[in-house]
Amino acid sequence: MSAKPIRDSYLPYGRQWIDEEDIQSVLNVLKGDYLTTGPAVGEFEKAIASYVGAKYAVAFSNGTAALHGACFAAGIGEGDEVITTPMTFAASSNCVLYQGGNPVFADIDPKTYNIDPRKVEELINENTKAIIPVHFTGQPADIDEVHQLAKNHNLVVIEDAAHALGATYKGKKIGSLSDMTMFSFHPVKHITSGEGGVITTNNEKYYQKLLQFRSHGITREPDKLIENHGPWYYEMQFLGFNCRMTDIQAALGTSQLKKIDNFVDLRKKYVSTYNEAFKEIDEIQTPYQDKNGISSWHLYIIRLDLAKLSVSRKEIFEALVNENIGVNVHYIPVHLLPYYSQLGYQRGICPGAEKLYEEIITLPLFPAMTEEDVTDVIAAVNKVINTYRK
Ligand SMILES: *Cc1c(COP(=O)(O)O)cnc(C)c1O
């Protein structure tokens, strides 16, 4: 390949978009009375709940802590099984381990790459307590089918919607459909608070538990106290954690949320450009979209037809990096990670996800990228595929 890369500067696969308004809202908090657990957290929670159409939202220091809280609130404990997908970030199943439960991995649907409800059903037994579907890349999982299984077997559903802020399922926003839903505000996600996460729910019991969980298991609510020694009095009623969001984070989150519709629209626009550009390239499969949902496009993943290429995914990946295109791979199936192997999870339990892993590359996609950036990515993909076409 010619030595001159398509781009002079490196284009990351994802990154935040912070404007002056965001900076000002953080400055306002820094100049005010509260840095943490002040009014900004409550405002952010209200704004998120209202955006997704849920009754309650509880903010956490990050999305992983939020998932941990959700597993706690769902009552996951020693010996309980929770079914999730292997095609996700480790946090989706680590939260089950934190609670002493056992994650069980159900293979993916080969078309959508989301958890396959038929595979979930095969794995349900008397120890199963919950399902954690992940809306992989922002495309909603088969929520209705997951809910049907949950109803039949009395299971809690916690959606990992870290990729899906702004996505809809059958016309409804992700965030109010299941027992609990988690969103993450890590800088590569749709909006950011630096680090941050939230659980949205319509269930008051879960809501109360989540509030208490993120603050050591402590409550000051008079009607929840066993005793009451006076106005200073609080009770620690279970072993919680400190995983509170700061007002600094929350102010940034609230400011970012105002821009979510534009952010998602830009992602959709760049995706159409990619789809159009790649549709005639036989060696590339563009992302299939199920008709029941509208993706919020956290990630754009191409699948390579390796039979038509002279090299493996690794060489294609490296060639794109040499063009200064910040590609990535989402994800290494969780059950193949060394810690999970040590726990006894074996290669072969999710052949669909394992095969997919060998063939995928994530291309840059984020609202702050320009049309020229998109054009560069397309040019680089064309160059690399043309070089390695059989
Ligand atoms: C980002 C992410 C998380 C964890 O969120 P953090 O805020 O980084 O802790 C969990 N699940 C998935 C699928 C994610 O992409």
Identify whether residues 231 and 264 lie together within a single domain. no
Q: Which long-range contacts (CB under 8 A, 24 or more apart) does 367-371 make?
A: 367/17, 367/262, 367/263, 367/266, 367/267, 368/15, 368/16, 368/17, 369/11, 369/270, 371/273
Residues 248 and 322 in one domain: no
Q: What rounded mean pLDDT belongs to the chain?
A: 97
Is residue 244 domain-shared with residue 120, that is, in the same domain? yes
Pair 213, 76 in one domain = yes
The CATH code of the domain that includes 264 is 3.90.1150.10
In a domain? residue 5: no
Say what the alpha-carbon torsion angle 308, 311, 317, 322 is, to the nearest 10 degrees: -120
What pLDDT does residue 1 have? 56
Is residue 240 predicted with pLDDT exceeding 80?
yes
Do 289 and 245 belong to one domain? Answer: no
325 and 230 part of one domain:
no
Please give the share of the chain, as a percent, with pLDDT higher than 90.
Answer: 99
- Domain of 177, CATH number, reads 3.40.640.10
What residue has token string 């308004």?
A: 21
* For ligand 1, mutation pick of 159, 160, 190 (most atoms within 8 Å of CB): 160
Kindly tell me if the per-residue pLDDT of 367 is higher than 90. yes
| Unique residue bearing structure tokens 């990946």 | 317
- The residue from 257, 279, 299 where one domain ends is 257
Are 157 and 273 members of one domain? Answer: no
Q: Give the separation between CA 83 and CA 39, rounded to whole angstroms.
A: 37
* Domain endpoint, select from 257, 276, 302: 257
One domain, residues 156 and 276: no
Ligand 1 centroid to 109 CA: how many Å? 21
Burial class (CB in 10 A: 0-12, 13-18, 19+), 39: middle
Residue 7 lies in a domain: no
| 244 and 97 both lie in a single domain | yes
Same domain? For 197 and 286 the reply is no
What is the DSSP secondary-structure string of 40-81? Answer: HHHHHHHHHHHHHT-SEEEEESSHHHHHHHHHHHTT--TT-E
Query: What pLDDT shows up at residue 3?
Result: 73
Domain span holding position 74: 20-257
Token digits of residue 384 = 């690399």
Q: Say whether 230 sits in a helix, a strand or coil.
A: coil
pLDDT of 144 above 80: yes
State pLDDT tens for residues 1-43: 567 999 999 999 999 999 999 999 999 999 999 999 899 999 9
pLDDT in tens, 191-236: 999 999 999 999 999 999 999 999 999 999 999 999 999 999 999 9
**Token pair of 215 as six digits:** 């603050």
Each residue's pLDDT tens digit, 294-309: 999 999 999 999 999 9
How far is residue 213's CA from residue 172's CA, in Å, rounded to a whole number?
29
pTM of the model: 0.98
Distance from residue 197's CA to the centre of ligand 1 (Å): 8
Please indicate, yes or no, if residue 1 is contained in any of the structural domains: no
Known catalytic residues?
189
**Contact status, residue 161 vs residue 39, Cβ threshold 8 Å:** no
**287 and 250: one domain?**
no
**Within its chain, how far is the Cα of 316 from the centroid?**
26
Q: 149-200: per-residue pLDDT in tens? A: 999 999 999 999 999 999 999 999 999 999 999 999 999 999 999 999 999 9
> What's the confidence (pLDDT) of residue 154?
98
Identify the domain boundary among 257, 279, 311: 257
Could you tell me if residue 357 is inside a domain? yes
Claim to verify: residue 154 and residue 233 sit in the same structural domain: yes
pLDDT at 107: 98
38 within a domain of the structure (yes/no): yes
Tell me, yes or no, whether 11 lies in a domain.
Answer: no
Q: Taking CB atoms and a 6 Å cutoff, what residues make up the pocket around ligand 1?
A: 62-64, 88-89, 91-92, 134, 160, 162-163, 184, 186, 197
Q: How many domains does the chain have?
A: 2
The pLDDT assigned to 2 comes to: 61
In angstroms, how far is the first alpha carbon of the chain from the final one?
15
